[in-house]
Chains A and B, each alone.
Chain A
Amino acid sequence: MEGDNKLALFEQSIVPHLNAAYNLSLWLTRNTHDAEDVVQEAYLRAFRFFDGFKGGDGKAWLLAVVRNTWLSWLRKRKGDSPAVAFDEQTHSPERERSNTESTLVEKAKLGSLQECIELLPIEYREVVVLRELEEMPYKDIADVAGIPLGTVMSRLSRGRKRLEDCVAARMNGGSR
């Protein structure tokens, strides 16, 4: 592929998915510094492999590269580093608040679900993020994560169950 055309084509079909790449990386690595490194490395790999891209959905193809890059990155790390707290880039949903009590309950719940997802084992977390935040069909999730369709469905189901239990436990735990 001719150089300038390759870069231009890449910029048109792959660079627009930068947010999707960063979102997945951050949910996987749980800190912004590592997420940025993974994204940059993934994009360089994607550019190198771009000749093999057959067209179609650039996002699924790119996220598969991101996920594989993250896996390599994980293997390179020595031992288990605890996840460092990352910056809140939360964009808060708009909601009506009618009384103080419901506000407090809502606030407790707001922290909970996000934390519950972060606490999910990685194989459940990635499937939940790809399904619920990236809104990918099962087939694309299978391609990105490199697992069979049936495994996607069972991990999603178990992940959802764990989230329900986690949120319920926090609600019943009362105020902080």
Chain B
Amino acid sequence: MSAGEENRSALVPAQTAALTKAGAKSLAARGRADLRVREEAEEWLQKGLEFYYKRLYEDAFACFERGTQLCPNHSATQLMLGVLYYYGQGVPQDRAQAAVWYRMAAEQGLVEAQFSLGFQYNFQDGLPRDYALAAFWYRKAAEQGHARAQRQLGALYAFGQVVPPDDEQAEIWYRKATEQGDADAPLFVDYAWLCGEGENLNQPSPVQAQPMQSKLHSFLSERQYPKLSDAERKASLEAFDQTKDDLQPSTCDETSGGDQPSGSGGTTLT
């Protein structure tokens, strides 16, 4: 901006020119274009969710797919795809594929995806049983305040599935879970949840959720738990495995027995 120019049009035209540079590659233009793409992906997610609530799962799947095509990074859409694959809604059930989508969302910090991934590792649910990874993902969700992840994490510590067993850690996580009020909503469902990343976890979701009723549940909720003998541990684990069934929302199609882990038959206690 030269101060020596004589004519009126020199009154800071350079500033305006710089600001209005609208070349296709200008950084502001790119920012806006990317925002628009993200917004469109959000719209597809919303449409998909509407179909989902109406149980039109194939349409929902199509919408979510479109959304990820537009914006491969959209974590909430990734989570929904994981859900559809997990319960076989709108697509043939494929829990391994579900885990692929859950992982993408989990890596972006989406708490429900982190919990689901931990769950799948924990119970050999489409993923090889791996307590270390289960604990890893539970912990991520637990640190964001996910009550069930906290409880599951506590259980892993208590039952020695995380080596070495750590009663102190178990206690810490059980306590946190109890303080949260043990929200027992199913894997996901309300969009506010998806985006809240932990905030709305303790609100009941619109799709029904049955609180877990198992004895083990109340046992685990107690602040002080006694040391278990091996037999008692085995029984507890069996009961614990069965509570997994409580996690299925009643709307889902019956799952094939194929890749379901059988009770605790194959469990090796460390």
Chain A complexes with chain B:
no
